[in-house]
Structure 1
Amino acid sequence: MNWKKCLAVSISILGLVSSEQVIQACADYNNYDTYPQFFGNEAPGKPAYMPFNFVESDLYYNNYNYWSNDFSSSTSENVNKQLILKEWKAELGDKYSLEQIEQIVYKAGLNSLFALKAEGRANSKNDSLAANAFYQFLSEKKGKAYLDYLIYAKKCEINANQELSDWNDNKQKPVQSNNSLKDEGLTAFRKEKNDLLKMKYAFQVMRMAFYAKQDDEVLSLFDQLLAGKADQSVAYTRIIGFRAGVHYRKGDKALAGYYYSKMFDNSDAYKYDAMVSFEWSRKRYDTESGELEQDRIQDIYKLCKTDHERAVVMVMKGLRAYPEFALEDIKKAYALDPKVAGIDVLVNREVNKLESGYFTQLIYAENKLPDARIWYYSIRDMNSVQENPSTDADKTYRDYIKSLNSFTDQLIADKQAGTPALWYLTKAYLACMQNNAPEMQANLQQATAAGMKESEKGLYQVIDLLYSLYKSKTITPQIEAELLPKLKSLNEVAKHAELAVYQFRDVMNHLVAGKYFQQGDTIKGVYAMAHAFTWDSSRVTFNADQDFQDVQGDVLSNLSVASLKKVQAFRGSNKKTAFEKWLVDNTYYTLPILKELEGTMYVRSYDFKSAIKIFEQADVPDMSFPNPFMPQINDYIELYPQDTARMYNKLGFSKRMAELQDIIAKNPNDAGALYGYAVALYNISYYGKAADMVAYNRIATDDNGYFKDASDAKKPRHLQEYYRVFAAEQYFNKAAAVSIDPELKAKALWGAAKCWTKRSPTTEGHSSYYYDQAYYINALKNPYFDKLTTTFSETRYLKLVKGTCDYYADYLRKR
């Protein structure tokens, strides 16, 4: 992973206020993917504002576009770079491509440019850059001024990089001091006639003065060199930042904030840096508690000289508003200057807040997914409860939707900010939040009539899909037929647009599947979730957890056999509609997989003869497991040679268990058969080495193990056995009761003792760190220990237990 992905440093603060840094810790998940985001944040079509898109609970904005597969650099860096390259391209009369210019401006080394200047021509034999047309131009007389500047700029860049606290210890050594470069730049500035180069020289001069901490000179140079020469260039944008940084270092935070707002407004370049620096200037936090001590926003606002400047400050304030809503700030900015940039981004943020805090909860409440067994990081949480919004919160959100709707009406009427299509789409989505399908339809039609940009067409596609789902309380065959082309189309978009990947997934999971589950169609609900996500770049095959440890897998895994057979019948039917065929095709739950699950269900319910019939079928997947008939004193999950000397598949295991059942049925006093049966039941529980035979994948960190829990009553019978091993204990006791061999009795009672400890009580209010102690204390109270000690202490087996099991050894010492 590129280091930039893990360390986001505010260049403006780090470069302009070298004593302070903003660091964001490395995160490997998508910060935007924390709630179903159907509206997205791409419709305004403003890459420079991407760092200010709504991100739940993210203080310093992740400056990486998670809807892109390219994490090599931040969005801001890409925007800045493209603006600089385009400035060069325009300056040179569009004669050279951006790639050619980038190769020289960003990639060519200082030595290459030194050599070009010394030789006066591009040497095709020794110079890899010789074929570059821009490079050739620099060797000509008319390119000399540009070459001189680039050499100078690259020398300055070396010095500037010394100030960056990154992880690169191999920084290039400066060619000249900051002061020397400053003087050289001043001389060049005075001689230079070209406006673009003149501004670039001014930027480098002030840059060197700033890094030399010559604060007064920075302010003096600003007045001397740039009086009346403001422009929207990248260079001038950064110059404003140097001026702001000096005021910050001098302690005048409000004035610094004012100039950072001007830097933010000047161009699309370095907006992220200007914003973060603005926030550092604006707010002071308590270093211990992290509580806000002072907000200088009003002081900054008072320094503004025009309504436009005041509007910019309100926009910047709104772009940082969270968790509070920002509509009043947006209205104020709009009233001050209806054409101020960022109104569309701000409204988009407010819609995202509504999605996150309100619409998501409505979706979860109206289209409840089966939540008795929630999977989170592969952990089965039986206590998960989906809470609905409170009445007060619901009213607050509904009132806010009305207010936002009213403001979009004003934006449509005024035609000053954004586009009419964007505002109609916004209204359509707000109508969706209010479950108002006719209003959705009307606004979608208006958006179409208004004409849409490409970025708006993608949003239209998603909202139109939502309309098909919201115009009917249930998904009927007619709705399915309407959904099919729309879902296929969104899936096609997802091949090249990352946002659409998540939108398609959330539509299938939370809306399509959710509606099916609510209308009692479990089969289609399961397949909708199975058709939601894929790792396949062609998006032809779709993925589900092969261990059934996701929501849809858990639903399947806990169906009755009769219900599972209905799923099989649907999957195998040749009479499916086009939608139904699309729904099930290329998903994980094929007939062989469903058959294998049926066989596993029989194993879980100890119906081994029925399991045999399933596993004997040729197309049923097969796998092998450690010997489930191998007893062990301690519950070590690690495999040893003796565990794998003989492996069992589910068919072989079922045959042997069926044999043991027959033996026990004929002779209930066969202690050996009873003990072997009990050992196998224990070994396919959570605590055995063959647990995967019934669980598919035993999770070592599963909190359901070892301790009794209030959720036990919610668990289906097979999970109660998996975690609490009641049947295994029963058969161990039966074996002990009928055996006449003291060694076998001791083994059987030890097996029962292990089962008893898997229902340890917990002390309410204690953290999980207390559990080990609680388990230990309970183990010493094991009722089987007393009988083992008083009756079987002289057996070889119990002596082996004493030397192997710490719990039992401690029990003896305590006794």
Structure 2
Amino acid sequence: MESKTYPDITRIFSSLILLFAFQASFACGWYESAETSRLALFKSEREGFLKLHYFCYSANSYHEVSQVSNRDQELNCLEWQKKIGTNVSTADIYTILYETDSDKFQAAYKNHTLKQVFAKNTFIATLLRLKNKPFLDYLVFAKKLEYNNIPSSKWESWGSINSYQENVNTVAIGDYNQKILSAKDAFLKQRYAFLILRDRFYSSDKAEVISLYDTYFANNKNTILEPWALYYKALCIDDYPLQNYLLSKVFATCDDKTYAVMQHYNFKQTAATLRLAKNDEERNMILIIESMRNPAPDLNTMKQVYSLDSNSVYFSFLVQREINKLEDWIFTPKYSSNKIPAVSFNQMSWYDNYEKAKAENFNKDIFYLRELKQFLIDAHSKVSGEQKDFMASAISQLCFIDDEIDLGKKYVNMISVKANVSIQLQKNIQLALVALKQDNLKEKDTQNNLFNYFNAIEDLVQEDNSLLKNLYSLYRIASDEFSKQGDKTTAGLLFLKSNLKKEATDSWYYYTPSFYEYTGYFERYATLEDMDDLIALYQKEDKTPFEKYICAGTTAPDVNFYRDVKGTIAFRKNNLAIAYQVFASMPSNFWQKNYEYKNYLNEDPFVPKVLKKAKERKFNYRFNKAEFVAKLIELKKENTPTSNLLLAHAYFNVSYWGNSWMMLAYDWTSGGENYSDYVYGENNYDAEMKYQNSNYYRCTLAKMYYEKALKMSKNKEEKALASLMIFECNYYDYYRDFDISHEEQAAFKSGKEIVDFYSVYNTTKTFKQYNCPLLKAFIN
């Protein structure tokens, strides 16, 4: 945050230092990543997507995943089962190969307790047979080799093992050629070769890695070890196009190395890599890999992939990426706080003229969306099975983004009842969108339907927390739709629910909202009637399932949170009667126990802050909003010079410049957007300008009462004080424009009051108390 320094005009402005410090505590040191705020609703998947999850559309370099594919490891277990007997459980093989620490295995082997330590494990029982000793010897060798070269890490093929000890037995490779040749079984020979090839890779023996692959794997590819070995060979080749080509073959044939392939793939060698492809299938895989890292529209690649294999899982995955791109480009600027897509590419300019760029990019995105949608509609009739359900889901999602609700419903209804779980999940999201866009949201049937759709998705989140982003996005859109139909209560609760889902994607702990998170939406957007509806819902005993659902985790722990907001809204509107009624209904100690009131409503509101030196200020005033408003009502009824002067002091202090600004606002900022502006997606300055007929920033009410006191009073001390404070009000009115404006400002004109202060009232005690050499400099 850039700080500003202002001239020390007079001691009466010293209070700004405190307020700027407060602004820093509220508005600085907070950050949210682009990926966190990105909206995404489309989550339909096909079997086979798991290996591709790292490459889902994301603002991060790679998408974060909650689970990875273990298909390769399962294939390895099947190869072992086929070799040593079908009576051996693949689950038992998996346990030993991938879930058993080397030190535990070695200790059991050394102590001759394998049978006891791994009781009932059919793999161990079979290996302990005398005829299988060569296989057991291999496994002992493999477990020891896990520690070689990188003792503190695990081999990537043993990724789920839990822990390592520091002092364990490693193994000396010795004459590794002899080790391989001594294995009489071809199965073991190849596995020894792989272990040693990998060891040579980490020892930077590139020539030997290539030799081992060419000798033992190039002509024997019927094993999952072959693409694993090919990955290491590829990284030992200095010719980047050839390295890319080999990596593309690894990507196509195994799951375990896909992320590693992408990390090493050189995306600047596309043309040269494509020239090495021997057929359309190989060329296609190279294009697929390139597309998975492309943030721009990529329909042409999708068309090529589809033309080769209309049922391709890779084609479906690219469709998902493309829809997520469009959601980001269209939904994120519309519903998130960032105002721009989470992922931007070079052709998207947002900074020269935001509104123009927003309109131009939106038009481009809608045109592209319709081009993609038409392509998928044409393809839908030519596919079958899971691909057909996936395509229907994709088309309907594009329809909803483009507000073609009826066409979207048509394709939602085409989704089979036998569709997989993720497509059924998407169907619930899409049915919720239909209800939100078309139905009367105040009707009980509509709300019941929404509850069922929302609840079905929430159930799945327990198993897959990556769905939190989809819920965050759906609730944000739902909040907007309820707001459009005039239901600010539901809109506000759904907005907080959306934020809680967003927060959960980045938090490993249970997150409890703060006071302001419970109330922030309402203090910005709600009316007094909206607050009555919210309080009534809060206190309602027989809530419907939908009402229980929107209240779960989103309602404040105390209904007085909402009463405080209602009273504050009334006070902003100068409706003192309602403000008093609401504040009086609250516990008298509420403002001592909640939020930041005790820290910022702690000075006498009837002594103008600007008249106090820093050392004179006392922060032990017990502030009670009801008593304060009652006093204002009483002073208004009196309508004397003294009562008007006290009213003026009070209204000065509840302004932005006073010591009781928290009567009207929940945070304080020196200008520009702050934390709460970011959360709620717009600068609140225009709304704040209207608080109490502009008194909050311009001291209009304070000035009015000072002028009344000046006119009515016969007391020179009162008149001197009123004159000084009218000058202060004029100055702060000017200063606010000066502070936020980037344009040339006319010079400040102090007015008659400061002249009178130095002439008519220069013999008063007030003048002697508050006179300052710098103050006189303002006389024009």
**Short-chain TM bin:** 0.7 to 0.9
Map of 2:62 onto structure 1: 61
Q: CA deviation at 1:564?
A: 4.9
Which segments of 5 or more consecutive residues in structure 2 lack a partner in the other structure? 1-29, 157-163, 340-352, 505-509, 593-600, 676-682
Q: Residue type matched to 2:243 in 1?
A: A
Map of 2:736 onto structure 1: 759
Distance across 1 between alignment mates of 2:774 and 2:693? 31
The match for 2:319 among 347, 351, 362 is 347
Map of 2:663 onto structure 1: 693
Map of 1:244 onto structure 2: 234
Distance across 1 between alignment mates of 2:291 and 2:669? 45
- 1:627-638 aligned at under 5 Å gives the runs 627-629=603-605, 631=607
The match for 2:290 among 307, 317, 321 is 317
Alpha-carbon distance change, 442 to 472 in structure 1, aligned in 2, over 3 angstroms: same
The match for 2:267 among 264, 282, 296 is 282
Answer yes or no: is 1:40 the counterpart of 2:12.
no
User: Would the aligned equivalents of 2:645 and 2:705 in 1 still touch at CA under 8 Å?
Assistant: yes
Alpha-carbon distance change, 237 to 174 in structure 1, aligned in 2, over 3 angstroms: farther
Q: CA deviation at 1:719?
A: 8.0
Q: Residue type matched to 1:52 in 2?
A: F
Q: CA deviation at 1:258?
A: 0.5
User: Would the aligned equivalents of 1:506 and 1:532 in 2 still touch at CA under 8 Å?
Assistant: yes
Answer yes or no: is 1:429 the counterpart of 2:428.
no
Q: Residue type matched to 1:149 in 2?
A: A
**Deviations for 1:344-388, whole angstroms, at most 9, x for unmatched residues?**
211111221222224667x76xxx99x9xxxxxxxxxxx997955
Answer yes or no: is 1:216 the counterpart of 2:207.
yes
Map of 1:357 onto structure 2: 329
Q: Residue type matched to 2:328 in 1?
A: S
User: Would the aligned equivalents of 1:616 and 1:651 in 2 still touch at CA under 8 Å?
Assistant: yes
Map of 1:718 onto structure 2: 692
Distance across 2 between alignment mates of 1:90 and 1:465? 49
Answer yes or no: is 1:601 the counterpart of 2:578.
no
Alpha-carbon distance change, 115 to 395 in structure 1, aligned in 2, over 3 angstroms: closer
User: Would the aligned equivalents of 2:102 and 2:143 in 1 still touch at CA under 8 Å?
Assistant: no
The match for 2:182 among 186, 191, 194 is 191
Q: Residue type matched to 1:224 in 2?
A: T
Distance across 2 between alignment mates of 1:187 and 1:359? 62
User: Would the aligned equivalents of 1:117 and 1:139 in 2 still touch at CA under 8 Å?
Assistant: no
- 1:301-700 aligned at under 5 Å gives the runs 301-324=274-297, 326-337=298-309, 341-358=313-330, 390-391=362-363, 393-412=365-384, 419-448=387-416, 451-472=418-439, 478-511=445-478, 513-522=479-488, 525-526=491-492, 528-529=494-495, 534=500, 546=516, 550-556=520-526, 559=527, 561=528, 564-565=531-532, 588=555, 592-617=560-585, 622-624=590-592, 625-629=601-605, 631=607, 643-663=618-638, 665=639, 667=640, 669-670=641-642, 673-698=643-668
Map of 2:27 onto structure 1: none
Distance across 1 between alignment mates of 2:665 and 2:391? 50
Greater RCO (Cα-Cα under 8 Å, separation 6 or more): 2
Distance across 1 between alignment mates of 2:381 and 2:619? 71
Distance across 2 between alignment mates of 1:813 and 1:681? 24
Map of 1:49 onto structure 2: 52
Alpha-carbon distance change, 224 to 348 in structure 1, aligned in 2, over 3 angstroms: same
Alpha-carbon distance change, 407 to 532 in structure 1, aligned in 2, over 3 angstroms: same
Alpha-carbon distance change, 691 to 788 in structure 1, aligned in 2, over 3 angstroms: same
Other structure's SS at 1:192 match? coil
Distance across 2 between alignment mates of 1:102 and 1:135? 10
Alpha-carbon distance change, 716 to 545 in structure 1, aligned in 2, over 3 angstroms: farther
Distance across 1 between alignment mates of 2:370 and 2:588? 52
Please, which moves more after superposition, 427-436 or 642-651?
427-436
Q: CA deviation at 1:274?
A: 0.3
Q: Residue type matched to 1:462 in 2?
A: I
Other structure's SS at 1:761 match? helix
Map of 1:258 onto structure 2: 245
Distance across 2 between alignment mates of 1:687 and 1:185? 80
Q: CA deviation at 1:255?
A: 0.7
Distance across 1 between alignment mates of 2:288 and 2:174? 39
Q: CA deviation at 1:51?
A: 0.7
User: Would the aligned equivalents of 1:627 and 1:643 in 2 still touch at CA under 8 Å?
Assistant: yes
Map of 2:143 onto structure 1: 150
User: Would the aligned equivalents of 1:721 and 1:727 in 2 still touch at CA under 8 Å?
Assistant: yes
TM-score by length of 1: 0.70
Q: Residue type matched to 1:300 in 2?
A: T
Q: CA deviation at 1:301?
A: 1.2
Alpha-carbon distance change, 236 to 601 in structure 1, aligned in 2, over 3 angstroms: same
Alpha-carbon distance change, 469 to 123 in structure 1, aligned in 2, over 3 angstroms: closer
Q: Residue type matched to 2:181 in 1?
A: R
Q: CA deviation at 1:554?
A: 1.5
Q: Residue type matched to 1:617 in 2?
A: S
Distance across 1 between alignment mates of 2:254 and 2:102? 29
**Deviations for 1:374-408, whole angstroms, at most 9, x for unmatched residues?**
xxxxxxxxx99795565455333322321233234
Other structure's SS at 1:154 match? coil
TM-score by length of 2: 0.73
Distance across 1 between alignment mates of 2:89 and 2:769? 83
Alpha-carbon distance change, 725 to 588 in structure 1, aligned in 2, over 3 angstroms: farther
**Deviations for 1:683-717, whole angstroms, at most 9, x for unmatched residues?**
33334443333223445776499xxx996489433
User: Would the aligned equivalents of 2:754 and 2:779 in 1 still touch at CA under 8 Å?
Assistant: no
Alpha-carbon distance change, 637 to 565 in structure 1, aligned in 2, over 3 angstroms: farther
User: Would the aligned equivalents of 1:592 and 1:621 in 2 still touch at CA under 8 Å?
Assistant: no
Q: CA deviation at 1:228?
A: 0.9
Q: Residue type matched to 1:760 in 2?
A: D
For the aligned residue pairs, the C-alpha RMSD in angstroms reads 5.2
Kindly, what percent of the aligned residue pairs are identical?
Answer: 16
Distance across 2 between alignment mates of 1:794 and 1:241? 92
Q: Residue type matched to 2:622 in 1?
A: M
Map of 1:228 onto structure 2: 219
Q: Residue type matched to 1:303 in 2?
A: L
Distance across 2 between alignment mates of 1:761 and 1:139? 86
Which segments of 5 or more consecutive residues in structure 1 lack a partner in the other structure? 1-26, 69-74, 164-169, 284-295, 372-382, 767-773
Distance across 2 between alignment mates of 1:227 and 1:514? 59
Q: CA deviation at 1:49?
A: 0.6
Q: CA deviation at 1:313?
A: 1.0
Alpha-carbon distance change, 385 to 339 in structure 1, aligned in 2, over 3 angstroms: closer
**Deviations for 1:524-547, whole angstroms, at most 9, x for unmatched residues?**
54455466565899xx99979646
Distance across 2 between alignment mates of 1:814 and 1:217? 89
Distance across 2 between alignment mates of 1:786 and 1:97? 95
**Deviations for 1:575-623, whole angstroms, at most 9, x for unmatched residues?**
9977567666875378655443332233334444443322222579932
Q: CA deviation at 1:447?
A: 1.9
Other structure's SS at 2:393 match? helix
Distance across 2 between alignment mates of 1:781 and 1:132? 93
Q: CA deviation at 1:227?
A: 3.5
Alpha-carbon distance change, 616 to 241 in structure 1, aligned in 2, over 3 angstroms: same
Distance across 2 between alignment mates of 1:94 and 1:786? 104
Q: CA deviation at 1:303?
A: 0.7
Other structure's SS at 2:737 match? coil
